[in-house]
């Protein structure tokens, strides 16, 4: 059972999400809040759907505070705006993904399953746009500016590159000729060694260390 918190200052949005998610087997909407200031004191949950723009405590600030208190929770940022500035700030605050509010219901449901399992919901193309925005440049200007975690093994480096390129665990297992459990073990080690709380932040590390480029992310078939 995945427990979910909803945070949005529009009551109709809260009601709609609550009805949708409440109809899904193994989902439980634990609480709803109309502002980021109402989150403290709520019961711990697995996933929070967080609006960006709210009148008192905005979603970016609320996410940063929530993640700092609970390293188990995963946050999906929801907004009506598509500007990259919100994506980069959301990820920097500790969010595990970013979706627009007009996302199809089945996509939102799948996103909750994905982040609850510890993975990310940004496709390689969206990640490329985010990284280019963070760098303030274009793919052609990619330059490593953060050292790659020094104690990664060659196998872990190869798997991290595939994670950054959008491979699923199944695809990694097939391409590396290893079992699924071995892939999961390697990914746990990668997250620990790179200081990443989830796959999104591991991808950021891979990019900043020059292991992958935005050009690869934009054109790789796994996108």
Q: Are 112 and 106 in contact (CB under 8 A)?
A: no
Would the CATH topology of 2-121 be identical to that of 129-219? yes
Q: What is the pLDDT of residues 183-203, one digit of tens each?
A: 999 999 999 999 987 777 888
User: What are the φ and ψ backbone dihedral angles of 98, each rounded to 5 degrees?
Assistant: -150, 125
Q: What is the pLDDT of residues 115-171, one digit of tens each?
A: 898 776 765 555 655 665 555 544 434 445 578 889 999 999 999 999 888 787 888
Q: Cα(183)–Cα(213) distance, rounded to whole angstroms?
A: 23
129-219: CATH number: 3.40.50.2300
Higher pLDDT, 99 or 18: 18
- The b/e string for 33-52 (b: 16+ C-beta within 10 A; e otherwise) is bbbbbbbeeeeebbbbbbbb
For domain 2-121, say whether CATH 3.40.50.2300 is its number: yes
Q: What is the pLDDT of residues 2-60, one digit of tens each?
A: 999 999 999 999 999 999 999 999 999 999 999 999 999 999 999 999 998 899 999 99
Domain residues of the chain, as ranges?
2-121, 129-219
pLDDT (0 to 100) of residue 203 = 81
Q: What is the pLDDT of residues 70-90, one digit of tens each?
A: 988 999 988 775 555 677 678
Q: What is the pLDDT of residues 48-71, one digit of tens each?
A: 999 988 999 999 999 999 999 998
Q: Tell me the pTM.
A: 0.67
Q: Cα(178)–Cα(208) distance, rounded to whole angstroms?
A: 27
């Amino acid at each position: 059972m995945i427990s979910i918190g909803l945070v949005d200052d529009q009551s109709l949005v809260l009601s709609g999400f609550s009805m949708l998610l409440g109809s899904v087997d193994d989902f439980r909407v634990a609480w709803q809040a109309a502002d980021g200031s109402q989150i403290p004191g709520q019961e711990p949950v697995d996933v929070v759907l967080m609006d960006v723009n709210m009148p008192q405590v905005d979603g970016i600030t609320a996410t940063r505070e929530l993640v700092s208190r609970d390293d188990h929770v995963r946050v999906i940022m929801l907004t009506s705006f598509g500007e990259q500035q919100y994506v980069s700030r959301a990820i920097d605050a500790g969010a595990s993904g970013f979706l627009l509010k007009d996302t199809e219901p089945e996509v939102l449901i799948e996103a909750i399953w994905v982040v609850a399992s510890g993975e990310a919901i940004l496709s390689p193309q969206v990640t490329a746009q985010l990284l280019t925005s963070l760098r303030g440049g274009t793919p052609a200007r990619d330059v490593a500016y953060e050292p790659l975690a020094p104690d990664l093994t060659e196998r872990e480096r190869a798997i991290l590159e595939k994670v950054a390129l959008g491979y699923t665990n199944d695809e990694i297992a097939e391409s590396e000729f290893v079992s699924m459990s071995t892939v999961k073990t390697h990914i746990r080690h990668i997250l620990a060694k790179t200081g990443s709380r989830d796959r999104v932040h591991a991808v950021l590390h891979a990019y900043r260390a020059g292991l992958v480029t935005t050009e690869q992310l934009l054109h790789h078939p796994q996108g």
